[in-house]
């Protein structure tokens, strides 16, 4: 050992985070109340302020603490718990379940979109979009039906892509990553999609809407409808 004494028992920021978490849960620090400042905590834990800072920053981004310069750090009254949904790449999702994935292009065309779609993409004019319908299967069983509009002004290259081989989502992930977007979940009846999902028209199905943007330019609006009984899972 170059340092002379054992494992240099310094305190890790994770251990501080865990200790503070325990105290918060035990209400050692009351909800809404200030906790000691970083310098004092560093003294208590016998470590540098930077280490305490890292621990508290982590708890703040997890939603358990509120931090403001000069005002100090306080325990959130109602912890803003967050669930992280790793956005499913359909192929990976299906294969992770051990099933064989298959993608089928159903329709492809360049059209003027209906007003609802224009609204989602915040398009003012009547520009033409690429409209694609596809079916994604797991072990030959319909898994998800997708109805997608793609803004050709934003990603013109996709018009030349053979979408029978490459699904629009796969191509977009690779060639046109978005900067931000929104997602919605809703329940509706299968309706006309029942034919593709092989279910009854009045079966309730889970639908996921997604709109993505490249800075100020809309990229795509996708409506993905899962087969009945499908559940979207998240870890907390």
Which positions touch a second copy (CB under 8 A)? 24-25, 31, 63, 78-87, 89, 92, 173-174, 177-178, 180-189, 202, 204-207, 210, 212, 228-236
What is the DSSP code string of 170-230? Answer: HHHHHH---SEEEEEEEEEE-GGGHHHHTS-TT-EEEEEEEEEEETTEEEEEEEEEEPTT-
Among residues 20, 24, 29, 56, the one that binds DNA under rule CB under 7 A: 56
Binding track over 20-39 against DNA, x by CB under 7 A = -----------------xxx
> Which distant-in-sequence residues (6+ apart) come within 8 Å of 41 by Cβ?
16, 35, 52, 56
String of DSSP letters for 29-63: S-TT-B---HHHHHHHHTS-HHHHHHHHHHHHHTT
* Binding partner selected for residue 38 from DNA, a second copy, none, CB under the kind-specific 5 to 8 Å limit: DNA
Say which residues have a Cβ less than 8 Å from residue 220's Cβ, sequence separation at least 6.
148, 149, 150, 151, 155, 168, 172, 210, 211, 212
Q: In whole angstroms, how close is the CB of 65 to DNA at the nearest point?
A: 9
Q: Which listed option, a second copy, DNA, none, makes contact with residue 230 (CB within 5 to 8 Å by class)?
A: a second copy
Q: Which does 152 bind (CB under 5 to 8 A by kind): a second copy, DNA, none?
A: none
Q: Does 49 participate in binding DNA (rule CB under 7 A)?
A: yes
Reduced to 3 states, what is the DSSP secondary structure of residue 94? helix
Which residues does residue 135 pair with via DSSP β-bridges, in sequence order?
104, 145
To a second copy, the closest distance from the beta carbon of 40 in angstroms equals 24
25 vs 195 by CB, closer to a second copy: 25
Residue 174 interacts with DNA (CB under 7 A)? no
**Binding site residues, DNA, CB under 7 A:** 1-4, 7-8, 10-14, 37-39, 46-51, 53-54, 56-57, 60, 67-73
């Amino acid at each position: 050992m170059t340092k002379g004494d054992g494992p240099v028992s310094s305190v890790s920021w994770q251990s501080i985070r865990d200790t503070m978490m325990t105290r918060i849960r035990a209400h050692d620090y009351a909800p809404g109340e200030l906790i000691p400042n970083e310098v004092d905590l560093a003294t208590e834990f016998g470590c540098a302020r930077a280490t305490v800072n890292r621990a508290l920053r982590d708890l703040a981004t997890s939603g358990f603490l509120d931090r403001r310069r000069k005002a100090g750090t306080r325990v959130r009254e109602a912890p803003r718990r967050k669930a992280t949904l790793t956005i499913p790449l359909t192929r990976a999702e299906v294969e992770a379940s051990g099933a064989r994935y298959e993608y089928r292009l159903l329709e492809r065309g360049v059209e003027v979109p209906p007003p609802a779609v224009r609204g989602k993409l915040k398009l003012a004019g009547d520009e033409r979009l690429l409209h694609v319908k596809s079916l994604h299967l797991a072990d030959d069983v319909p898994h998800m039906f997708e109805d997608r509009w793609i803004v050709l002004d934003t990603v013109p290259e996709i018009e030349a892509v053979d979408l029978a081989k490459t699904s629009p989502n796969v191509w977009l992930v690779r060639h046109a990553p978005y900067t931000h977007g929104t997602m919605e979940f809703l329940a509706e009846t299968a309706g006309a999609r029942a034919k593709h999902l092989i279910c009854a028209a009045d079966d309730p199905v889970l639908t996921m809407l997604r709109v993505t943007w490249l800075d100020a330019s809309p990229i795509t609006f996708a409506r993905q409808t899962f087969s009945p009984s499908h559940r979207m899972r998240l870890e907390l």
